[in-house]
Amino acid sequence: MPPEATLPSDADVPVGPPHARRSGPLLRIGLVLGVLAVGAALAAVAAAPAGRVLVNVRVGDVAIGRLDAAGATAALTAAADRAAPPPPRQLAITTPDGVVAVPTADLGVRLDVGATVARALALGRTDRPEDLRVRLTALRTSTTVRPVLAADAGAVRAVVDALADGLDRPADVGDLRIDPETGRVVVVPPRRGVAVDRDAATAAVIAALADGRRTAVTLPARVVPAAAPSDRIRTLGARLADALARGLVLVGDGGRIRVEPADLAAAASIVAGTDADGRPTPELRLDRWTVARTVGARLVAALERDAVDAAFVVPSPPRFAAMGTTAFRPRAVDVAVDPGRTARRFRMDRTARQLERLIVTGRRTAAADLLELAPAVTAADLLAHAAPTHLLGTFTTFHPAGADRNVNIRRLADELDGTLIAPGADLSVNGVSGERRCEDGYLPAGTILFGELVDTCGGGVSQFGTTTYNAAFFAGLPTPQWQPHSFFIGRYPMGREATLSYPVLDVRATNDTDGWLLVRTSHTPTSVTVALYGRPRWAEVRAVHGPATDPTPFPTELRPADDLPPGEERVLQPGGDGFTVVVLRELVPPDGGPPTVERRRTVYRPQTRIVEVPPGPVAVVPAPPG
């Protein structure tokens, strides 16, 4: 049976107007062409696979399309001057204090070949729209890669360090500057502080130079506000200007000195301090060493003073110089107290601080701020023990005027004058004076050594020892140490005299009273006196001298002298016989009872007569009769 013809169903019949039915093939044709274009672009990319630069890529005037990293590096290295345009001539660096122009030639700017090649290899390799456009137009459009520049990191850091050295500073409180010629004070207001981040600044400059087009960069820095209001430094400036115009005056006991403007100008400066609330503030400072150099010597001369010890004031003693048997009774005296005074000493720190206060407060004159030093003996010290009420004992010895030994006697007397001995303590002549040396003002004078008078430093002071011993003798004080001369000296009382030689031979007397023992001395060109004041234990002290006994004739020593002509002689030392003497000290108690008797026996050796004679046979020289 033959196949049946069928009509197409409604589903197979095209629906719509005739022009719509014709557009279907055109769309299909467009799609095909688009696919072909994309294929062409992909073909262009395929012409420069991964690891190679796209076609038609240039760096400056150097073509590097389709080259791998090594090839592009070689091409750019060989033509670096054509690959990169010259950088800007200078880079403007903005700092907290202004803009600084730095020549890029000083920074070692050059083409960074490696970074530029990396930038070229990355071109067109991402999915970003701009890279897609580059890939699609690569075959027919040339693309220029912006070169990457590099700088010498060491050169950049050197420039940054130089800038930072000039910028870095703490916030300050201002300053005062003085014109050395006119004395005019110039106020420098407070400044804000600056701290440059040197590492970040170096990186910022290098990044700006790498861009190749930037001409300015801001220096990374921390800015600290000014440390103090400007009115404070201006006030100080006005006060200092006033002091420089008028000068300052320091006064003391009967003296004054003017601190000249030039002295103040040389010493003045401003330092940072803190106010009552702990905030920074400018403070005026005067350099203490400059003050010492410019003011010190004049202030010492005009205003310093020595301390004066507090002292008992007693009347001058009567002269008592008995050579033989005699007696002395204590004498009541009126005793007053001199409170003495402190010492005043210049100290450069104190004076510098005082002058600062005068300037800051606007004052011109003040009492000098000197260091007060208490005397060695104060009025309070005198109250530690009972005051003297009597002259206990005194004695005077005499000497010819004008001899060097007199200088030594007076010096030693001055050293002991005013000495106070507490109850139970000893008066020691050597203890008060110490070694009597020529460098301390003592002179060479006669001293008995091995039976002969020779000159030694401080010689002749045994006369003061004898005077002190006799004052203690008649004061009724114990004398635990004293020694008479080896041979008798006619100007002293027999058996009642003493010698001195530091440190062995001393004159010591013990204060066995219940109050102070005061030593007062005085001298004239021909005498020296020692007086002892205190509280008496005895109503009277007597000296009873026995006769000289056991005489011993003196020998004679002859010494040849080349300068003597025949028949002449020179007596170096007169002779004196030796003898023994006993002196009794009778201490009469206040109640009138029997006296305490002390026996003191002295043996004097003969004093050798020493004579110089001409050389040759020496005749026997008879001893003087006696």
Which CATH number goes with the domain that contains 286? 3.10.20.800
Residue closest to 471 by CA, chosen among 488, 496, 504: 496
Per-residue pLDDT at 446: 67
What's the CA gap between 420 and 309, in Å, rounded? 11
Per-residue pLDDT at 37: 54
Convert the pLDDT of each residue in 383-414 to its tens digit.
999 999 999 999 999 999 999 999 999 999 99
Last residue of some domain: 165, 198, 219? 165
Residues 536 and 562 grouped into a single domain: yes
What total of structural domains would you count in the chain?
Answer: 3
What's the CA gap between 388 and 165, in Å, rounded? 77
According to DSSP, the residues that pair with 522 across neighbouring strands are 529
User: Is 208 among the domain residues?
Assistant: no
What's the CA gap between 516 and 419, in Å, rounded? 10
**Whether the predicted pLDDT of 375 surpasses 70:** yes
Residues 460 and 596 grouped into a single domain: yes
User: Is 2 among the domain residues?
Assistant: no
pTM: 0.61
Per-residue pLDDT at 495: 96
Residues 457 and 552 grouped into a single domain: yes
User: Is 176 among the domain residues?
Assistant: no
Residues 445 and 567 grouped into a single domain: yes
Per-residue pLDDT at 482: 97
Per-residue pLDDT at 620: 46
CB neighbours of residue 269 within 10 Å: 14
Query: What length does the chain have?
Result: 626
Residues 332 and 360 grouped into a single domain: no
Q: Are 52 and 68 in contact (CB under 8 A)?
A: yes
Q: Which domain holds residue 587?
A: 326-341+385-613
In sequence order, what are the residues at sequence separation of 6 or more whose Cβ sits closer than 8 angstroms to the Cβ of residue 212? 84, 85, 87, 146, 147, 148, 149
What's the CA gap between 531 and 134, in Å, rounded? 125
Residues 258 and 399 grouped into a single domain: no
* pLDDT tier for residue 142 given thresholds of 50, 70 and 90: confident
**Whether the predicted pLDDT of 611 surpasses 90:** yes
Per-residue pLDDT at 617: 64
Whole-angstrom CA distances from 84 to 63, 91, 212, 297 are 12, 18, 9, 75
User: Is 206 among the domain residues?
Assistant: no
Residues 332 and 432 grouped into a single domain: yes
Local structure of 117: helix, strand or coil? helix
User: Is 182 among the domain residues?
Assistant: no
Q: Are 282 and 228 in contact (CB under 8 A)?
A: yes
At position 377, the amino acid (one-letter code) is V
Residues 410 and 394 grouped into a single domain: yes
- Maximum CA extent, the chain: 211
* pLDDT tier for residue 11 given thresholds of 50, 70 and 90: very low
Averaged confidence pLDDT in the chain: 88
Q: Which two tokens stand for residue 526?
A: 């021909």
Per-residue pLDDT at 3: 37
